[in-house]
Structure 1
Amino acid sequence: MIDEDPSDLLQLTDEDVKDELSYWQQAVYGFIVGANPPWQILEGFLKRIWSKYSIDKISFLPNSVFLARFKTEEMKQAVLASGHFLFNNKPLVIKAWRPDIELEKENIKNLPAWIRLNGLHLKFRGNSLPKIANLVVTYVKSVTATEQKTRLGFARVMMELKLGQKFPEKIKFLDEKKQVIYVPVVYEWKPSVCTKCNQIGHDQDKCRKHKRSSVQHKSKQI
């Protein structure tokens, strides 16, 4: 390969790019882990969950990656601090836009997901709840119905699940009387990594790339 002579190349200046950099500075980018919903559905979802944050524009890239620009920097920061959101129990990942960021579904290690602690005694649903939930992994928050004590069939909490972690079906701890308490754990969604394409959100049996490659391989044999 012959190296280009830099003196022959077009040289852009800060002035050439400053307007676009300034425009997108108030944007976040993101995607749904393990899902590629149509852009109309994704747009409606974002407008609903961020209805109070003064969205200026939502733009889309391939693979359902989006850019959401807000009318003020304060609104952008408020969205970044607003917590975790789920789309059909699959986590929404959002990050602040930067000029050097790669706008694609990048590798991530921790993902939010809801779990249910079935049959958890009422006395453990106050200050004890985060401690108990941390026996699974990192506690984030409780659902409103759990916090307000309106639905008592189970305790529903959001957790930061880690890729590759073990998912216990039951946890145990000692109560205030030093009795062993067992609590079943139900996961509304588990982060899985495909061994074929290394993407998050599906296993090999549901991998489209794996299926396409298998079909192509069989067609070559015929």
Structure 2
Amino acid sequence: MTLHFCDKSADSRVVVVEEEDVEDEIKFWQNTLMGNFMGSKPKIKEVDEYVLKYWKNVTRPIVQYYKKGWYSFRFFSADDMNEILKGGPWNMGTSTLVLKQWTPTFSKEMDSVSIVPAWILFPDLDPFMWSEKVLSKLASIAGKPLFADLPTTFKSKLSFARVLVEVDVSEDLPTSVQLHSGNNSENHIRVVATLLSLLQEAGTCTREM
């Protein structure tokens, strides 16, 4: 990387960063997930071995230690990144993994893990209601919807609909929601956050290793 001299005011120590100054770097990091293990902190070698063993369905990401217990997982495509984000929850032994998509503001938000992805189940929702619009409306009651899982998307498992939602675990999650549909019919739909006790304690969701 070759650097060059930038003109500056003789009496100013203020550096102004323009959007175009960092656009290439943002593109470089845009397919990155940031992960924090809640519990004991594994060594970088252990994290790399875990990725190699359990994330076989995607091209192996580049794993690096960031700081303050956070690791970066830089993927080679958005599809691979989303596959892992949708594929959780994840667990390494007794340590549970919080995954968040990297954004340019991540460094300012990294000390807070109250906003985390959680799987939300709707066991009372009829399959004909499993549209993108209905699921988005229901999931938004709990937080920010991210994805529906594959069985829900393809309607291959009809016992419940399951979506991944960013929730604030510092607040109480809803346990039911009123659903109003045609002809003024009203149903009470249960809302189940999987591993809720663990979410409240650690702010994450898990998968057995």
TM-score range, shorter chain: 0.5 to 0.7
How many correspondences in the alignment?
169
**Is it true that 1:122 corresponds to 2:122 in the alignment?**
no
Counterpart residue number, 1:176: 182
Q: For residue 200 of structure 2, what is the aligned residue in structure 1?
A: 192
Specify the alignment match of 2:51 in structure 1.
Answer: 46
Change (3 A) 1:110 1:62: closer
Against the structure 1 CA distance between its residues 107 and 157, is the aligned structure 2 distance closer, same or farther, given a 3 Å change threshold?
same
| 1:133, distance to aligned residue in structure 2 (A) | 2.3
Distance, in Å, in 1 between the alignment partners of 2:80 and 2:40 is 22
Pair 1:91-2:93 in alignment: no
Contact 1:90–1:189 under 8 Å retained in 2 = no
Q: Retained in 2: the 8 A contact 1:192–1:201?
A: yes
List structure 1 segments (4+ residues) > 6 angstroms apart after TM superposition.
76-83
Deviation of 1:161 (Å): 0.5
CA contact (8 A) 1:80 1:96 kept: no
- The alignment partner of 2:182 has SS state of coil
1: CA distance, partners of 2:154 / 2:136: 15
Which deviations, in whole Å up to 9, do the C-alpha atoms of 1:89-126 show, x marking residues without a partner? 7531353699xx58x95224532110111121122112
Change (3 A) 1:106 1:29: farther
What is the TM-score of this pair, normalised by structure 1? Answer: 0.57
Superposition deviation, residue 49 in structure 1: 3.4
- Following superposition, the deviation at residue 167 of structure 1 comes to 1.0
State the Cα RMSD in Å. Answer: 4.0
Secondary structure of the residue that 2:38 maps to in structure 1? coil
Query: Are the structure 2 counterparts of residues 174 and 130 from structure 1 closer, same or farther at C-alpha, using a change threshold of 3 Å?
Result: same
Q: Matches of 1:105 and 1:77 in 2, distance apart?
A: 22
- TM-score between both structures, scaled by the size of structure 2: 0.60
Larger CA Rg, structure 1 vs 2: 1
Question: What is the one-letter code of the residue matched to 1:201?
Answer: G
The corresponding residue for 1:111 is: 116
Aligned mates of 2:143, 2:104 — CA distance in 1: 29
Q: Provide structure 2 residue ranges, at least 5 long, that are not aligned to the other structure.
A: 5-26, 205-209
How far off its partner does 1:142 sit?
0.6
* Residues 112 and 161, structure 1, Cα contact 8 Å, conserved in 2: yes
- Tell me which amino acid in the other structure corresponds to 1:92: L
Q: Which runs of 5+ in 1 are unaligned?
A: 1-13, 16-24, 194-199, 203-222
Q: How far is the alpha carbon of 1:37 from its aligned partner?
A: 5.3
Matched position secondary structure for 1:177: helix
